[in-house]
Amino acid sequence: MRILVDKKHIQNRIGDVAWEIDRHYNKQDWYKNTKEPVIVLGVLSGGMFFMADLVRQLSIRTEMDFIRVSTYPGKATTAQKPRIIVEPTKLLHNAHILIVDDILDTGKTLGCVKEHLLYPHFPIVQFRPASIQTAVLLCKPGKAVNNMTADFVCCGIEDEWVVGYGLDYNGRYRNLPYVAVLE
Ligand code: IMP
Ligand code: MG
Protein backbone atom coordinates (compact mmCIF):
# COMPACT_ATOMS: atom_id res chain seq x y z
CA MET A 1 0.00 0.00 0.00
CA ARG A 2 1.33 3.43 -0.95
CA ILE A 3 0.20 6.48 1.06
CA LEU A 4 -1.08 9.16 -1.30
CA VAL A 5 -2.49 11.76 1.09
CA ASP A 6 -1.36 11.61 4.71
CA LYS A 7 -3.40 12.35 7.81
CA LYS A 8 -1.89 15.79 8.41
CA HIS A 9 -2.44 16.96 4.84
CA ILE A 10 -6.06 15.74 4.94
CA GLN A 11 -6.73 17.66 8.17
CA ASN A 12 -5.09 20.83 6.79
CA ARG A 13 -7.13 20.68 3.60
CA ILE A 14 -10.36 20.01 5.50
CA GLY A 15 -9.60 23.14 7.56
CA ASP A 16 -9.13 25.19 4.36
CA VAL A 17 -12.31 23.85 2.79
CA ALA A 18 -14.29 24.42 6.00
CA TRP A 19 -13.17 28.05 5.86
CA GLU A 20 -14.33 28.33 2.21
CA ILE A 21 -17.70 26.78 3.09
CA ASP A 22 -18.15 29.15 6.05
CA ARG A 23 -17.31 32.08 3.80
CA HIS A 24 -19.75 30.93 1.11
CA TYR A 25 -22.72 30.63 3.48
CA ASN A 26 -21.88 33.73 5.51
CA LYS A 27 -22.32 35.74 2.29
CA GLN A 28 -25.80 34.38 1.50
CA ASP A 29 -28.73 36.68 2.27
CA TRP A 30 -30.89 33.82 3.58
CA TYR A 31 -28.07 32.85 5.97
CA LYS A 32 -27.69 36.40 7.25
CA ASN A 33 -31.41 37.14 7.52
CA THR A 34 -32.84 33.91 8.93
CA LYS A 35 -31.95 31.38 11.63
CA GLU A 36 -32.06 28.47 9.15
CA PRO A 37 -29.22 25.95 9.36
CA VAL A 38 -27.29 24.39 6.50
CA ILE A 39 -28.31 20.72 6.24
CA VAL A 40 -25.11 18.75 5.86
CA LEU A 41 -26.15 15.60 4.02
CA GLY A 42 -23.57 12.83 4.24
CA VAL A 43 -23.47 10.12 1.59
CA LEU A 44 -23.15 6.77 3.38
CA SER A 45 -20.97 4.93 3.97
CA GLY A 46 -17.82 6.51 2.56
CA GLY A 47 -18.75 10.14 3.13
CA MET A 48 -19.24 9.90 6.89
CA PHE A 49 -15.54 10.06 7.78
CA PHE A 50 -14.95 13.28 5.86
CA MET A 51 -18.27 14.67 7.08
CA ALA A 52 -17.41 14.03 10.74
CA ASP A 53 -14.14 15.95 10.41
CA LEU A 54 -15.59 18.68 8.22
CA VAL A 55 -18.56 19.60 10.43
CA ARG A 56 -16.27 19.91 13.43
CA GLN A 57 -14.28 22.58 11.59
CA LEU A 58 -17.29 24.56 10.35
CA SER A 59 -18.49 27.65 12.24
CA ILE A 60 -21.81 28.06 10.41
CA ARG A 61 -25.16 26.77 11.75
CA THR A 62 -25.59 23.16 10.68
CA GLU A 63 -27.84 20.17 11.12
CA MET A 64 -26.95 16.72 9.84
CA ASP A 65 -28.66 14.02 7.88
CA PHE A 66 -27.61 11.09 5.70
CA ILE A 67 -28.53 9.45 2.44
CA ARG A 68 -27.37 6.02 1.34
CA VAL A 69 -26.52 5.29 -2.26
CA SER A 70 -25.69 1.89 -3.66
CA THR A 71 -22.32 1.89 -5.36
CA TYR A 72 -20.36 -0.63 -7.27
CA PRO A 73 -18.53 -3.26 -5.23
CA GLY A 74 -14.76 -3.14 -5.59
CA LYS A 75 -13.73 -1.15 -8.61
CA ALA A 76 -15.93 0.93 -10.88
CA THR A 77 -17.29 -0.05 -14.25
CA THR A 78 -19.03 2.46 -16.46
CA ALA A 79 -22.21 0.39 -16.92
CA GLN A 80 -23.34 0.52 -13.29
CA LYS A 81 -25.86 3.09 -12.14
CA PRO A 82 -26.14 4.17 -8.50
CA ARG A 83 -29.53 4.31 -6.77
CA ILE A 84 -30.84 5.67 -3.46
CA ILE A 85 -31.28 2.90 -0.90
CA VAL A 86 -31.84 4.96 2.29
CA GLU A 87 -33.65 8.29 2.21
CA PRO A 88 -32.77 11.30 4.39
CA THR A 89 -34.99 11.52 7.48
CA LYS A 90 -35.52 15.29 7.37
CA LEU A 91 -38.07 16.93 5.14
CA LEU A 92 -35.75 18.85 2.84
CA HIS A 93 -38.32 21.13 1.25
CA ASN A 94 -36.86 24.66 1.15
CA ALA A 95 -33.71 23.44 2.87
CA HIS A 96 -30.19 24.60 2.09
CA ILE A 97 -28.26 21.39 1.57
CA LEU A 98 -24.55 20.69 1.53
CA ILE A 99 -23.98 17.17 0.13
CA VAL A 100 -20.77 15.60 1.48
CA ASP A 101 -19.14 12.57 -0.12
CA ASP A 102 -15.75 10.92 -0.09
CA ILE A 103 -14.86 11.16 -3.78
CA LEU A 104 -16.04 12.45 -7.12
CA ASP A 105 -15.06 9.94 -9.76
CA THR A 106 -17.53 9.50 -12.64
CA GLY A 107 -19.91 11.95 -10.92
CA LYS A 108 -22.77 9.45 -11.10
CA THR A 109 -23.24 9.24 -7.34
CA LEU A 110 -23.41 12.99 -6.75
CA GLY A 111 -25.53 13.32 -9.90
CA CYS A 112 -27.94 10.69 -8.59
CA VAL A 113 -28.21 12.35 -5.15
CA LYS A 114 -28.73 15.80 -6.63
CA GLU A 115 -31.35 14.60 -9.07
CA HIS A 116 -33.13 12.69 -6.33
CA LEU A 117 -33.27 15.80 -4.12
CA LEU A 118 -34.47 18.01 -6.94
CA TYR A 119 -36.97 15.57 -8.48
CA PRO A 120 -38.09 13.15 -5.77
CA HIS A 121 -40.97 10.74 -6.30
CA PHE A 122 -43.30 12.81 -4.21
CA PRO A 123 -46.49 13.19 -6.20
CA ILE A 124 -48.59 15.60 -4.12
CA VAL A 125 -46.46 18.33 -2.61
CA GLN A 126 -44.08 20.35 -4.71
CA PHE A 127 -40.87 19.44 -2.98
CA ARG A 128 -37.70 21.42 -3.67
CA PRO A 129 -34.62 22.26 -1.65
CA ALA A 130 -33.74 25.98 -1.67
CA SER A 131 -30.09 25.35 -2.57
CA ILE A 132 -27.63 22.50 -3.06
CA GLN A 133 -23.85 22.67 -2.69
CA THR A 134 -21.45 19.74 -2.83
CA ALA A 135 -18.21 18.98 -0.99
CA VAL A 136 -15.88 16.04 -1.57
CA LEU A 137 -12.64 14.96 0.02
CA LEU A 138 -11.14 13.75 -3.26
CA CYS A 139 -11.71 14.40 -6.94
CA LYS A 140 -10.40 12.43 -9.91
CA PRO A 141 -10.27 15.11 -12.57
CA GLY A 142 -11.70 14.80 -16.05
CA LYS A 143 -13.71 11.61 -15.58
CA ALA A 144 -17.16 12.93 -14.81
CA VAL A 145 -19.71 11.67 -17.34
CA ASN A 146 -22.33 14.35 -16.63
CA ASN A 147 -20.17 17.50 -16.30
CA MET A 148 -20.58 17.01 -12.57
CA THR A 149 -18.20 19.05 -10.46
CA ALA A 150 -18.09 19.60 -6.71
CA ASP A 151 -18.29 23.10 -5.27
CA PHE A 152 -15.69 22.31 -2.60
CA VAL A 153 -12.82 19.84 -3.09
CA CYS A 154 -10.04 19.01 -0.62
CA CYS A 155 -7.59 17.18 -2.90
CA GLY A 156 -7.35 16.36 -6.60
CA ILE A 157 -5.85 12.92 -7.29
CA GLU A 158 -4.86 10.85 -10.30
CA ASP A 159 -7.15 8.18 -11.71
CA GLU A 160 -6.15 5.32 -9.41
CA TRP A 161 -8.26 3.20 -7.05
CA VAL A 162 -7.72 4.62 -3.58
CA VAL A 163 -8.69 3.36 -0.13
CA GLY A 164 -8.83 4.80 3.38
CA TYR A 165 -10.58 7.72 5.02
CA GLY A 166 -13.96 6.25 4.11
CA LEU A 167 -12.97 4.72 0.78
CA ASP A 168 -13.06 0.95 0.45
CA TYR A 169 -12.03 -1.93 -1.69
CA ASN A 170 -14.72 -4.63 -1.38
CA GLY A 171 -15.76 -3.20 1.97
CA ARG A 172 -12.29 -3.05 3.51
CA TYR A 173 -9.85 -0.28 4.49
CA ARG A 174 -12.43 2.46 5.13
CA ASN A 175 -11.00 3.09 8.59
CA LEU A 176 -7.45 3.93 7.49
CA PRO A 177 -6.59 7.45 8.68
CA TYR A 178 -4.91 8.30 5.34
CA VAL A 179 -5.66 7.83 1.64
CA ALA A 180 -3.59 5.14 -0.05
CA VAL A 181 -3.29 3.34 -3.37
CA LEU A 182 -3.66 -0.44 -3.27
CA GLU A 183 -0.77 -2.15 -5.01
P1 IMP B 1 -18.75 8.22 -8.85
O2 IMP B 1 -20.20 7.90 -8.76
O3 IMP B 1 -18.06 7.45 -9.95
O4 IMP B 1 -18.41 9.69 -8.87
O5 IMP B 1 -18.05 7.64 -7.59
C6 IMP B 1 -18.42 7.98 -6.38
C7 IMP B 1 -18.46 6.79 -5.46
O8 IMP B 1 -17.74 5.66 -5.96
C9 IMP B 1 -17.80 7.21 -4.20
O10 IMP B 1 -18.74 7.66 -3.26
C11 IMP B 1 -17.12 5.93 -3.76
O12 IMP B 1 -18.03 5.20 -2.98
C13 IMP B 1 -16.84 5.15 -5.01
N14 IMP B 1 -15.46 5.32 -5.52
C15 IMP B 1 -15.06 5.97 -6.63
N16 IMP B 1 -13.73 5.93 -6.79
C17 IMP B 1 -13.25 5.23 -5.74
C18 IMP B 1 -11.93 4.84 -5.32
O19 IMP B 1 -10.90 5.15 -5.94
N20 IMP B 1 -11.86 4.11 -4.18
C21 IMP B 1 -12.97 3.77 -3.45
N22 IMP B 1 -14.21 4.11 -3.78
C23 IMP B 1 -14.37 4.84 -4.92
MG1 MG C 1 -19.54 6.44 -1.87
- Res 72: pLDDT: 58
| Ligand 1 within 6 A of CB of 76 | yes
- Residue from 105, 151, 159, 168 carrying the catalytic annotation: 105
Is the pTM higher than 0.95? The answer reads: no
In the residue annotation, 151 being an active-site residue is answered as: no
Averaged pLDDT score across all residues of the chain: 91
For residue 12, the SS3 value is helix
**Cis amide bond preceding 131, omega within 30:** no
Determine the residue type at 160: E
Neighbouring residues of 8: CB distance < 8 A, sequence distance ≥ 6: none
Greater pLDDT, 71 or 17: 17
For residue 140, the ligand closest to its alpha carbon is 1
